[in-house]
C-alpha cells in the first residue's frame, strides 16, 4: 500500500468539492459578530442618509435667492424640528449632519462666504445642491446591503450599526477537534527528556484556526493502540463537524490512525499528496464529520493546515468566498526544486518582493523557517528552479 500522488491543487479542490456547508444558524448581537459568516442577506432597514442633511458647517439657503442672506436661526446636528417659516433671502446657520429644512437646497461652508455677520452673510456663486446629502442617495430601505455568505468584517459592522441592525443571523460555529498521535509526544507544559518531543501541532493548528476566526478544542494526544484509537475516534465523530489529527497515517508500523479512521467508516478523498513538504496528508468524510489527517512534522502540518484546512473550513461554515487572496511579488533570489513534486515554500514578503527562506534549504521539521517567514508560495511540479525576477503568487500568513 502506498500513498496517493495527487497534486496539491487537486487535494484542495477535492476538499472544497466535498465540503458541504452546515446549515444550522443562530442569531447573534453585532458585538459578537466579527468574523462570523452571514446566513442571510442583510436588507436595509432605512434610507441612508436617513434625512437630507448638511455635509459641512455653514449656511443653508435656497439657491434661487440673492447673494446677501439674512441668518434667521441655527440648526445643530441632532436638532429635531417641524417645518418653520423661511422667507425669501433667509438662510439658516447649519452644522455638519444637521437636518436641512425641506424648502432649502444648498449649503455654503462658512469659510467660503464672502462676508459673515451676526445677522446676514454674503455668498459667492455656488452649485445648486452643493454640500447637501439627500435622503436615500446612498441606500434605499429594502436594498440588499450585504450578501449571505460574507464574512463579517469591521467594515460590515460599521454598516450594520449605521442601519440600527444589531441582531444578525450567522452560521453556527464549526465544532472542531484537534488531536495529535504518538507516544513520543509530551504536552508543552510537561518535562521532556532529551529523547522526547513536544506536542506542537495541536497548539500551532489551534492558533492558526483562531486567527481565521475558527475555534477548536484541543483534545490531546490519542493513545498508541489501534483498539483504543478506534474507540476514541468513534466518540469524537459524534460530537464534531471536523476532526484534525496529525501524524499516524503513513504506513509505518505504528501508524494505525489511518486504520482507526477506516474502521469508523472514513471515505478518504485522498491519502497522500505529491508535495514537499507534507506528503503524508489525508482528507476524507466519516459520516457527517470532515477529517483532516495532517503530517506529524510540525512544519508540514502547519503549512497544509493553512493551505488546505482554512479554505475548507470557510466553505464548511457557509462562506461564499473561501480561497485566499493572493498577492503578486517578484522573486528575489533563485532557488532549486525537485520537478517531480509540487512545493509549498516559505519566505518573506516586503514591498512587492519575495525572498525564499534560507535558499529553500530547510527541513520539514524546522520551525525556524516558519518563524522567519511571513508568507508562502506554491510552485506546481515541473519546475527545476525559480529564477530571480520571476513573478510569484504569494499567500500572506
Which helix (H) or strand (E) segment holds residue 304: the answer is: helix 298-304
Cα–Cα dist 330/110, whole Å: 50
> Does 5 interact with a copy of itself (rule: CB under 8 A)?
no
- Can you tell me the distance from the alpha carbon of 83 to that of 101, in angstroms, rounded to the nearest whole number? 7
Residue 16 in the binding site for a copy of itself (CB under 8 A) = no
Q: What cell does 34 get?
A: 466579527
- Using the rule CB under 8 A, give the single segment among 18-26, 169-177, 180-188, 312-320 that binds a copy of itself: 180-188
Interface with a copy of itself includes 71 (CB under 8 A)? no
Q: Residue 94's closest CA among 63, 60, 127?
A: 60
Residue 216 in the binding site for a copy of itself (CB under 8 A):
no
Binder of a copy of itself out of 207, 235, 359, 380 (CB under 8 A): 207
User: For a copy of itself, which is the closer residue by CB, 17 or 321?
Assistant: 321
Site string for a copy of itself, 266-295 (x = CB under 8 A): ------------------------------
**Residue 188 binds a copy of itself, judged by CB under 8 A:** yes
Q: Rounded distance, CA 22 to CA 104, Å?
A: 53
Tell me if 195 contacts a copy of itself by CB under 8 A. Answer: yes
CB of 226 to a copy of itself, least distance (A): 14
Output the smallest distance, CB 238 to a copy of itself, in A: 25
> Would you count residue 225 as binding a copy of itself (CB under 8 A)?
no
- Largest pairwise CA distance in the chain: 95
Q: How far is the CB of 183 from a copy of itself (least distance, A)?
A: 4
Separation between Cα atoms, residue 307 and residue 283, nearest integer Å = 13
What mask of x and - would describe binding to a copy of itself in positions 355 to 384, judged by CB under 8 A?
A: --------xxxxxx-xx-xx----------
Cα 377 to Cα 158: distance, rounded to the nearest angstrom: 34
* Nearest partner of 212 among 344, 326, 306, 348, judged by Cα: 306
Interface with a copy of itself includes 351 (CB under 8 A)? yes
State how far the Cα of 4 lies from the Cα of 381, in Å rounded to an integer.
Answer: 15
Using the rule CB under 8 A, is 251 a contact of a copy of itself?
yes
Between 14 and 313, name the residue whose CB sits nearer to a copy of itself.
313
Distance CA(143)–CA(57), nearest Å, equals 30
Amino acid at each position: 500500500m502506498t500513498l496517493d500522488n495527487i497534486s496539491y491543487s487537486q487535494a484542495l479542490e477535492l476538499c472544497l468539492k466535498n465540503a458541504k456547508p452546515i446549515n444550522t444558524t443562530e442569531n447573534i448581537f453585532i458585538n459578537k459578530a466579527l468574523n462570523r459568516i452571514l446566513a442571510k442577506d442583510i436588507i436595509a432597514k432605512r434610507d441612508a442618509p436617513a434625512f437630507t442633511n448638511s455635509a459641512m458647517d455653514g449656511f443653508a439657503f435656497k439657491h434661487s435667492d440673492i447673494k446677501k442672506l439674512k441668518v434667521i436661526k441655527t440648526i445643530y446636528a441632532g436638532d429635531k424640528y417641524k417645518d418653520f417659516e423661511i422667507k425669501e433671502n433667509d438662510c439658516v446657520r447649519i452644522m455638519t449632519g444637521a437636518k436641512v429644512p425641506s424648502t432649502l437646497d444648498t449649503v455654503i461652508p462658512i469659510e467660503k462666504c464672502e462676508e459673515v455677520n451676526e445677522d446676514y452673510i454674503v455668498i459667492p456663486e455656488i452649485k445648486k445642491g452643493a454640500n447637501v446629502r439627500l435622503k436615500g442617495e446612498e441606500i434605499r430601505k429594502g436594498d440588499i446591503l450585504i450578501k449571505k455568505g460574507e464574512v463579517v468584517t469591521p467594515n460590515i459592522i460599521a454598516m450594520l450599526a449605521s442601519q440600527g441592525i444589531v441582531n444578525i443571523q450567522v452560521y453556527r460555529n464549526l465544532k472542531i477537534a484537534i488531536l495529535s498521535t504518538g507516544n513520543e509526544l509530551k504536552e508543552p507544559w510537561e518535562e521532556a527528556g532529551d529523547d522526547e518531543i513536544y506536542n506542537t501541532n495541536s497548539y500551532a493548528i489551534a492558533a492558526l484556526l483562531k486567527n481565521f476566526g475558527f475555534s477548536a478544542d484541543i483534545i490531546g494526544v490519542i493513545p498508541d493502540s489501534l483498539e483504543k484509537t478506534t474507540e476514541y475516534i468513534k466518540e469524537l465523530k459524534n460530537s464534531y463537524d471536523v476532526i484534525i489529527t496529525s501524524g499516524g497515517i503513513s504506513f509505518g508500523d505504528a501508524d494505525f490512525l489511518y486504520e482507526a479512521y477506516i474502521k469508523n467508516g472514513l471515505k478518504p478523498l485522498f491519502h497522500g499528496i505529491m508535495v514537499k513538504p507534507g506528503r503524508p496528508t489525508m482528507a476524507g468524510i466519516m459520516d457527517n464529520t470532515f477529517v483532516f489527517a495532517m503530517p506529524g512534522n510540525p512544519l508540514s502540518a502547519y503549512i497544509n493546515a493553512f493551505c488546505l484546512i482554512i479554505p475548507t473550513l470557510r466553505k464548511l461554515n457557509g462562506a461564499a468566498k473561501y480561497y485566499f487572496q493572493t498577492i503578486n511579488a517578484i522573486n528575489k533570489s533563485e532557488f532549486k526544486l525537485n520537478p517531480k513534486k509540487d512545493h509549498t515554500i516559505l519566505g518573506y514578503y516586503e514591498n512587492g518582493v519575495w525572498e525564499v527562506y534560507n535558499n529553500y534549504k530547510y527541513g520539514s521539521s524546522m520551525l525556524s523557517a516558519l518563524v522567519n517567514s511571513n508568507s508562502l508560495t506554491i510552485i506546481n511540479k515541473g519546475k527545476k528552479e525559480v529564477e530571480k525576477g520571476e513573478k510569484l503568487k504569494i499567500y500572506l500568513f
